[in-house]
Structure 1
Amino acid sequence: MDRVYNLIVDSVNTSVVTYTAVSAGVLSCYVGLKVYRRQQVKKKALKKREESRKALQDVQRSVVTDDGTTAAKRREILSLPLPQLSQQLRDGQLSAVQVLQAFQEKATAVNDKINCLTEPVPDALVRAQNVDVADQPLGLLHGVPVSIKENYNIKGMATTMGVTKHLDTPADEDAVIVQVLKKQGAVPFVKTNIPQTLLSISCSNPVFGNTLNPVDPTRSPGGSSGGEAALIKGGGSLLGFGSDIGGSVRTPALFCGICGLKPTAKRISGRGLMKGSPGVQGVISTPGVMARDVDSLALGMKALLVPDMFQLDPQVIPVPFRQEIYEDKKPMRIGYFTTLQSCPPTPSMGRAVIMAKEALEKAGHTLVPFDPPDDLRAIVDLVTRLITADNGRTFSTMWLKDEIIDEYLKGQIHLWTMPHYLRKIQAFLLKPFWPRIAKVLSHRLIGSVYDLWQRMAEREAYIEQFLDELKKKDLDLLLCPALGMPACKPEHAGRTLATTAYVTLFNLLNFPAGVVPVTMVTEEDDRLLDDWIGYGNDPIDKVIKKTTKGAVGLPVSVQCVALPWQEEKCLRLMKEVETLCPV
């Protein structure tokens, strides 16, 4: 019996050792495979970055000049406002090739400093040459070089979204906006950088790297159209095209000190644009226009709102740009507010609204105080729940699976993908101390189609409530902060998303909205920040205060808002503010 027992024990021990060894081997292989895949992804990203850098350097070498006359002419071209430049191109005073090369030289020089470009558009020179031999002007943007955000499809170029899995998949055709721009004679010449997956107010990804703010390189240029804003502010483009689901045009425009417009959804076509969360309901993404000044935004919209766009995308409302509304001189009745309960603005942002409000009143317009109804519920219970309705599964599986996650995105992903039971536990523990954070964490995740429909019904009711409040005061225009803070530091981007309440509100409502710079952060703003407590001096407020401290000299903008389909009226208010509050 003892011998049998010993044999059994030896057999069991051998089995355990074997099982342990096999398990360890399997685990080792799994870990090794993950490390190998990560290394391969990193190599692929770095290879693409090097290829892009070389392509940009080749463009730069091809246009550099030592000729004094050519250099002087290029400086003159770069100094022209877009309406004047486009007119000289249509009149034949300037050639498309001449203008393209001026902007290629400037854009690549700007990129050397702040890394705002992803790639040059390969056929830009050929296109400019074809424009020059045309029998007559091709359109409103005849020969104008335009910059395009990385998430727009351009035929033959990969649309990466800052991940490697799409590097080898070139687009089959241009996005509709790109097609219309070409029909109007424009020359797309560069694509511009984005944050990975687009859902961030930083501008960094593992493929193309981090973009710096041209005003202050220690700060973010904003996201997700950060490369566009940085390039335009740096002088490397006059007209650019981005996209906006939660302020992704308006936030970079504010951070860099340029102008940006988010139209009503379906006013211009979004076909051929990649989205960070395709299928998201209730918080609406739309393409947008970015430029140095409001007249350029208006020209960009006018060039897009033409029969070609209406034919290429029948979902777009077939209404051309109404120049008479944009140029109207009648006094306006404008509602204004300086704060949202969900995120009181830092001193400079509220001051900018009062500054613009007083200037508008002196010019003969009527300004009426307006309180957005129940904004905390709108931002937390609707925007936050709708934009994270899938608990982050779309971008974590569709975009980020087996990818290197950008360092500035990691914090957001953990928050958006946290299981509901952990949210509830944290909300319970934090409620006595940090009620705003607890409220965000405690919202029930959307777990069914029924839940989604309930939230969508709440959104519809909120829109009606908002419109009723506007109607009571006879208002169809609003003036308000562009964000809760000026440009943040990139490491704080994920923890200051509460400040985007001012822009995401109008994605929820689907109102056209634009930002225009009016002032800069002053020493007094910086001093007043010491006494600012925000919502309740919770950790979010402390990060906002920390990132805003020392922001003296950064641009500060206001946001102008109109009712749906009234982009021309929104632009008119922006133009009036720009004229009355020159920076």
Structure 2
Amino acid sequence: MSDFVVDFCWDVLEDSRLPLVFCTTLVGVLTVYVGRKFYTRQQYKRKVQRKNEERQKALQDVLKSLDTDDKDISDINEILTLTLPQLTQQLKDGQLSAVQVLQAYQKKALAVHGGINCITEPIPNALARAQELDSTDQKSGLLYGVPVSIKDNINIKGMANTLGLVKYLENYAEEDSVIVRVLKKQGAVPFVKTNVPQLLFDIGCGNPLFGTTLNPRDPTRSPGGSSGGEAALIGGGGSILGIGNDVGGSIRIPAHFCGICGFKPTANRLSKKGYFTAAPGQQGLVSTCGPMARDVDSLVLVMKALLVPDMFQLDPLVPPIPFRHEIYISKRPLKIGYFLDWELALAAPALTRAVKVTKEALEKAGHNLVLFQPPKSDHAFQDIIPKCLLADGGETIRSRMSGEMADPRLKAMMPYLTMSYFWRKVVGFLLKPISPRVSRGMSHRLLRTIYDLWQRLVEREEYVREFLSTWEEADIDVLLCPAFPIPAFKYKGTRAIPETTYYTNIFNLLNFPAGVVPVTKVTEEDDRLLDDIIGSKKDPFDRNVLKVAKGAVDMPVAVQCVALPWQEEACLRLMKEVETVCKM
């Protein structure tokens, strides 16, 4: 038998035709593979080109429709400078029409978009809706005639939710999201959708479909993500009110970067029905919709407008708790916990200074500020959060990205998001002498069973209870802390810096309401002190986080205000107090 095998193998090797057949087959397979890849890529580019042609036409059609002959530039500018409460009053009094206000903001929004690319698409029926409102005698609704911008992944009937992916170009919403339906019932006029980072996984804001959004304060810098288009449009003056969502800081980070106010309620205080998420089924870090605006009064007005019976009826999962105005307007002095930095010690001087300045101003206003030490935050950052976020081993992300071109920033993060447990262990081991903290985060065991997931959720619950216990022992009403470790960073030369998001996603893990308020700007002295801190860091990853904060002089800096679950009114009250004592 063995002789037969040897003879057969020798005959195969002697047959001169086989190498030729093998090579021909190999070339054929490679040709088909390369051809298919080329064809797929060309199809992808054609779809992107076609979509952007449609997008540009829609934007040009809006520009052509603007009927501003009867209103000179000064009139338009006057509309744009009104606060939201002032605007709603003038609309209800009949001093302004819904069409006038809409067209003023359409004109400004298109001008802002032309410089920073923040709009994905105009909402087609906005003008018709404004005209309909003007034709009625009854001017009802807390947001009557107010133009509202909407984040790309929130449902608008007939419009696609793309997440910056070509495969979802025809993912048309069959109906408005609940939050949009309630806004309309309150008289609002949704008028544009705004850009997001691909898959919503970045604190930059770009995707191959709609391009990159820039910061209105400095176009070389990021506007934040994932509600980056919203923050950029509002920060540039092109919208007075926007709706985003937040699973790890996606409202608060862009608001901080762009110098506006942003608010993340407790999950399910506002309806989540009708928005498209990158990781459905993810447990542990809870997502929620929330408002973004220039000032706290605007956030309060929209929360009042949304927390009404219409929302509770349209989504029975939302607890029927109306806005409790008496908590918001209370004059009782607050006992406010504060801290300057998390255990990671990554906050740049501008961020810690912002908390110090705010603390002193609040004390002068009669409030009691006490130092607060969060419990075991390192355990939450390095163990609980990564395990909850990547519980599926990155399978959902891989599925979403199948057949897609990745944005360069997301492409840089993909190995971290989708790496197998084996390679995580290898990379974690290699990084241990360089950065023990990052090594620990890379080496955590992926969740392989339902039992593993349940154990991580038990850890989360235990941490939440521990944090609540620490809060109770401190006997504080609300909490003040850095909004983020760094100001808006330059796009050029920077990649993913996931460690920074711990400053915001910790409150998604805890499910505490949190908002940000701009209080100061980066100074020359802040930038100088940053050099000393960078030089003191041994961990190269820590140095990288702080290096990207260099050169941000005059960029806005916010503080973060936090309250206990379901205490949105208390959180907004602290935000208003901060805004009052720290007028920029």
TM bracket (short chain): over 0.9
CA separation of 1:436/1:96 partners in 2, compared to 1, >3 Å: closer, same or farther?
Answer: same
Counterpart of 2:341 in structure 1 is 339
Cα distance in 2, alignment partners of residues 579 and 495 from structure 1: 35
1:97-139 superposed Cα distances (whole Å, 9 cap, x missing partner): 1100000000000000000000000000000011111231230
2:89 alignment counterpart:
87
Matched residue, 2:30: 27
What is the aligned partner in structure 1 of residue 276 from structure 2?
A: 274
**Structure 1: where are the runs of 5+ without partners?**
none
Matches within 5 A, 1:414-429: 414-429=415-430
Residue 36 (str. 1) matches residue 39 (str. 2): yes
Is there any run of 5+ residues in structure 2 with no aligned partner, and where?
1-6
What do you get for the CA RMSD once the two structures are aligned?
A: 1.7
Tell me what 1:70 maps to: 72
Q: 2:62 maps to what in 1?
A: 59
2:512 paired residue number: 511
- SS at 1:276 equivalent: coil
Deviates more, 1:135-144 or 1:107-116: 135-144
Q: CA deviation at 1:169?
A: 2.9
**What letter corresponds to residue 579 of structure 1 in structure 2?**
T
**Match of 1:392?**
394
- Structure 2 partner of 1:406: 407
CA drift at 1:49: 1.6
Checking the alignment, whether the CA contact within 8 Å between 1:64 and 1:105 is kept in structure 2 is: no
Instruction: Report deviation, 1:546.
Output: 2.2
Distance 1:439-1:5 versus aligned 2 partners, 3 A rule = closer
**Matching residue's letter, 1:48:** K
SS at match of 2:412: helix
Paired position in structure 2 for 1:488: 489
**Whole-angstrom CA distance in 2 between matches of 1:305 and 1:328:** 19
Q: Secondary structure at the match of 2:263?
A: strand
Kept in 1, the 8 Å contact 2:147–2:188? The answer is: yes
Q: What is the CA distance between 1:416 and its match in structure 2?
A: 1.2
Deviations 1:391-446 (A, max 9, x none): 2211221x211011111111111111112222212211221221121111111111
Partner of 1:478: 479
Deviation at 1:6, TM superposition (A): 13
Asked whether 1:326 is paired with 2:317, we answer no
Report the count of equivalent residues.
578
- 1:138 equivalenced with 2:146 (yes/no): no
What do the CA deviations read for 1:300-358 (whole angstroms, capped 9, x no partner)? Answer: 11110000000000000111111111111110001001111124201110110011011
Aligned to 2:526: 525
Secondary structure of the 1:490 match is: coil
Select between 486-495 and 450-459 the one with higher mean Cα deviation. 486-495
- Helix, strand or coil at the partner of 1:147: strand
Q: Deviations over 1:141-169 (max 9, x none)?
A: 00000000000110011111101111123
Does 2:146 match 1:147? Answer: no
* Offset, 1:388: 1.3
Q: Distance in 1 between matches of 2:367 and 2:197?
A: 39
SS in 1 for 2:217: coil
In 1, the alpha carbon distance for the partners of 2:542 and 2:187 equals 47
Note if 1:348 corresponds to 2:343: no
Contact 1:201 1:493 in 2 (8 A): no
| Residue identity in the other structure for 1:528 | L
Separation (CA, whole Å) in 1 of partners of 2:553 and 2:468: 37
Q: Using the TM superposition, give the Cα deviation of residue 5 of structure 1 relative to its aligned residue in structure 2, in angstroms.
A: 9.7
2:52 to 49, 52, 69: 49
Contact 1:243 1:288 in 2 (8 A): yes
Q: State the distance in 2 between where 1:205 and 1:111 align.
A: 16
Q: Which range moved further: 98-107 or 381-390?
A: 381-390
Bigger shift: residues 498-507 or 416-425: 416-425
Q: Deviations over 1:177-207 (max 9, x none)?
A: 0000000000000000000000110000111
The aligned counterpart of 2:457 is 456
CA contact (8 A) 2:521 2:556 kept: yes
Structure 2 equivalent of residue 577 of structure 1: 578
* TM-score normalised to structure 2 length: 0.96
Query: Which residue number corresponds to residue 199 of structure 2?
Result: 197
Q: Tell me the percent identity.
A: 59
Distance 1:6 1:562 in 2: 76
The aligned amino acid for 2:340 is T
Cα distance, 1:9 vs structure 2 = 5.2
Greater mean alpha carbon deviation, residues 410-419 or residues 204-213:
410-419
Question: Relative to 1, partners in 2 of residues 1:415 and 1:431: Cα closer, same or farther, differing over 3 Å?
Answer: same
SS in 1 for 2:244: strand
- Residues 89 and 535 (structure 1), Cα distance of their counterparts in 2 relative to 1, 3 Å cut: farther
Offset of residue 491 of structure 1: 4.8
